[in-house]
């Protein structure tokens, strides 16, 4: 049995915070305010996003508990194994991998969308074909591909480099959004009257809020990147929970600011009815001119860059953990001989995503909608596993015969997190719900599920050969129990 490969502890606290925040604030913060207001109205969007952030904080409690106890790479995959065993770990890891990779691809395609708005003569060069109602140009393919290649190279070069630049990007992102919002609110042509009616007419306010709440797992995905980097913390793992909470609070404020900046510039109903390609861009351009567009473009670029960088980190660490567990080929667990990074996972993510721009943004949106299932599944497994770590009272601990901590409040919060995750899954899968997946997304989900079953059947024999003791060593970092030694496991 080969020695367990481990990542170097290089990530500082503010870098990890930046990875979480930058991953949560991607292209959607700037592109989707108009689409969201069409569903719920300005106040409905802000309330839905704020409630969603609170629910994510409840779910984050479980991540904080498990990161503290098991500071290893893998995130939801690791926690699914801890709580429910190898088969559940494969199931969770399979869908979570697709979720992370697709977000990398979508952020890259957002650069092409930005190019269509700013430099259409460059982006809309050489029409190739139309797919899903989206015209695919060679120019946008090259832009997205260049971004994917650059950030792959950048991540291979070292965790310290990516962490430092991620923090710089995040600082510029926050300053850009705050400046843009202040400029829009204080502009003489702006008015809070443009935000009326506060909710979408014709539907109950709660229905609009629920429609926005349903996208919370997707909007705030990124805080779970902190557990993926846990093995590389150069600080106590117990601080991870506070970093998650800080990242969610700032993300909630930035989302709300962009909705506010869009809504005060022009009557939002008129904006929505016009069905603009990029509503926020049009409002900022009309109100602030070239200076506003510059601020907006810089903010979007920082959001996209932090999303690309953050999810390259998460996807590669997840595949590194799965390779170390022999679910994926063991080559995924190899580290770069010079830079010490899980470069195979980074290269695989890049190669997979390089195919995405050729399918057009609409097809990619279908896949990303489906991949939100994977993120929600990881939330559910994490909360359920954390729930199992505690007892309600002394009699329960005595009955089960183990030394788990008696912590009814933590156990209750984990239970609420698990129920919230189930609700999010229901909103995605139940027909007629505000966030129900469309037919193309369901077909993509079915295809990925079939591929997962086929891959599992292919790997099952080798996977089953590994004893639980060996998998504990590879996945959780527990010491191997050797003959004649104490059988008490110790977390390394």
**What pLDDT digit, counting tens, does each position of 21-48 carry?**
998 888 788 888 988 999 889 999 999 9
Q: What parts of the chain have a pLDDT lower than 70?
A: 1, 394-404, 434, 479-492
Do 78 and 475 contact (CB within 8 A), yes or no?
A: yes
Distance CA 469, CA 350 (A): 34
Element (H, E) at 343: helix 343-354
Please give the tally of structural domains in the chain.
Answer: 1
Distance CA 139, CA 125 (A): 5
Do 64 and 236 contact (CB within 8 A), yes or no?
A: no
Determine the pLDDT at residue 489.
38
Element (H, E) at 406: strand 405-406
Distance CA 344, CA 357 (A): 21
Q: What is the distance, to the nearest Å, from the Cα of residue 235 to the centroid of all Cα atoms in its chain?
A: 23
Do 344 and 331 contact (CB within 8 A), yes or no?
A: yes
Residue 2 counted as domain residue: no
Residues 6+ positions from 212 with CB-CB distance below 8 Å: 36, 39, 40, 44, 45, 47, 48, 49, 52
Residue 4 counted as domain residue: no
Buried b (16+ CB within 10 A) or exposed e, 387-411: bebbbeeeeebeeeeeeeeeeeebb
Q: Is residue 491 classed as helix, strand or coil in its secondary structure?
A: strand
Distance CA 101, CA 352 (A): 8
Determine the pLDDT at residue 81.
95
Q: Is residue 59 classed as helix, strand or coil in its secondary structure?
A: helix
Determine the pLDDT at residue 254.
95
Distance CA 2, CA 75 (A): 23
Residue 151 counted as domain residue: yes
Q: 280 forms bridges with which residues in the sheet? A: none
pTM of the model: 0.88
Q: 127 forms bridges with which residues in the sheet? A: 137
Distance CA 210, CA 488 (A): 47
Residue 426 counted as domain residue: yes
**480: left (phi > 0), else alpha (psi -120 to 50), else beta?**
beta
Element (H, E) at 390: strand 390-391
CA nearest to 353, candidates 110, 89, 26: 110
Determine the pLDDT at residue 479.
67
Do 476 and 70 contact (CB within 8 A), yes or no?
A: yes
Q: Is residue 135 classed as helix, strand or coil in its secondary structure?
A: strand
In DSSP notation, 170-196 reads HHHHHHHHHHHHHHHHHSTT--GGGG-
Distance CA 205, CA 220 (A): 22
Residue 443 counted as domain residue: yes
Distance CA 321, CA 344 (A): 12
Residue 186 counted as domain residue: yes
Rounded to 10 deg, the angle between the 361-387 and 408-429 helix axes is: 150
Residue 5 counted as domain residue: no
Strands in 123-244 per DSSP E: 127-131, 134-137
Question: What phi and psi values does residue 352 have, to the nearest 5 degrees?
Answer: -65, -45
Residue 197 DSSP class: S
Do 256 and 50 contact (CB within 8 A), yes or no?
A: yes
CA nearest to 304, candidates 468, 146, 133, 135: 146
Residue 309 counted as domain residue: yes
Q: 129 forms bridges with which residues in the sheet? A: 136
Q: How many CA atoms lie within 13 A of 118 on its CB side?
A: 19
Determine the pLDDT at residue 401.
53
Element (H, E) at 35: helix 33-40
Q: Give the chain's radius of gyration (CA, Å).
A: 23
* CA dihedral over 305, 310, 315, 321, signed as positive or negative: positive
Residues 6+ positions from 351 with CB-CB distance below 8 Å: none
Distance CA 247, CA 245 (A): 5
In DSSP notation, 398-418 reads HHHTS--EE-HHHHHHHHHHH
What residues make up the domain containing 408? 13-476
Do 232 and 19 contact (CB within 8 A), yes or no?
A: no
Distance CA 303, CA 120 (A): 21
Say which CATH number the domain at 175 has.
1.20.1740.10
Determine the pLDDT at residue 484.
36
């Amino acid at each position: 049995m080969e020695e367990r490969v481990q990542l170097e502890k290089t990530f500082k606290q503010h870098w990890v915070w930046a990875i979480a925040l930058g991953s949560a604030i991607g292209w959607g913060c700037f592109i989707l305010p108009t689409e969201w207001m069409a569903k719920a109205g300005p106040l409905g969007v802000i309330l839905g996003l704020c409630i969603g952030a609170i629910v994510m904080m409840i779910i984050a409690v479980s991540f904080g508990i498990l990161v503290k106890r098991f500071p290893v790479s893998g995130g939801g995959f690791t926690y699914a194994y801890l709580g429910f065993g190898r088969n559940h770990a494969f199931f969770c890891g399979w869908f979570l991998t697709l979720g992370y990779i697709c977000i990398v691809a979508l952020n890259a395609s957002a650069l092409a969308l930005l190019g269509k708005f700013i430099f259409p003569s460059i982006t809309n060069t050489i029409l190739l074909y139309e797919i899903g109602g989206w015209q695919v140009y060679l120019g946008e393919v090259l832009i997205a591909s260049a971004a994917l290649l650059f950030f792959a190279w950048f991540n291979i070069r070292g965790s310290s480099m990516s962490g430092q630049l991620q923090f710089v990007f995040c600082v510029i992102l926050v300053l850009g959004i705050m400046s843009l919002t202040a400029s829009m609110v204080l502009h003489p042509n702006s008015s809070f009257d443009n935000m009326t009616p506060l909710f979408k007419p014709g539907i109950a306010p709660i229905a609009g809020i629920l429609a926005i709440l349903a996208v919370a797992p997707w909007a705030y995905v990124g805080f779970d990147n902190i557990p993926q980097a846990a093995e590389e913390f150069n600080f106590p793992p117990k601080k991870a929970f506070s970093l998650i909470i800080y990242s969610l609070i700032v993300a909630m404020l930035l989302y709300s600011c962009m909705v506010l900046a869009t809504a005060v510039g022009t009557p939002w109903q008129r904006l929505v009815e016009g069905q603009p390609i990029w509503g926020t861009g049009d409002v900022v351009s009309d109100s602030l001119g070239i200076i506003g567009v510059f601020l907006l473009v810089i903010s979007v670029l920082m959001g996209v860059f932090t999303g690309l960088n953050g999810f390259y980190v998460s996807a590669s660490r997840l595949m590194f953990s799965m390779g170390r567990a022999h679910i994926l080929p063991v080559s995924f667990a190899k580290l770069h001989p010079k830079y010490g990074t899980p470069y195979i996972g980074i290269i695989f993510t890049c190669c997979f995503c390089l195919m995405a721009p050729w399918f057009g943004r609409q097809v990619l949106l279908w896949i990303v909608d489906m991949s939100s299932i994977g993120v929600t599944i990881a939330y559910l497994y994490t909360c359920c596993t954390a729930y199992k770590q505690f007892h309600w009272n002394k009699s329960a601990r005595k009955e089960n015969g183990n030394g788990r901590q008696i912590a009814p409040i933590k156990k209750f919060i984990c239970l609420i997190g698990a129920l919230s995750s189930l609700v999010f899954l229901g909103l995605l899968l139940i027909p007629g719900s505000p966030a129900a997946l469309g037919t193309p997304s369901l077909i993509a989900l079915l295809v990925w599920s079939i591929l997962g079953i086929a891959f599992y059947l292919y790997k099952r024999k080798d996977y089953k050969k590994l004893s639980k003791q060996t998998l504990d060593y590879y996945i959780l970092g527990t010491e191997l129990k050797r003959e004649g030694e104490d059988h008490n496991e110790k977390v390394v």
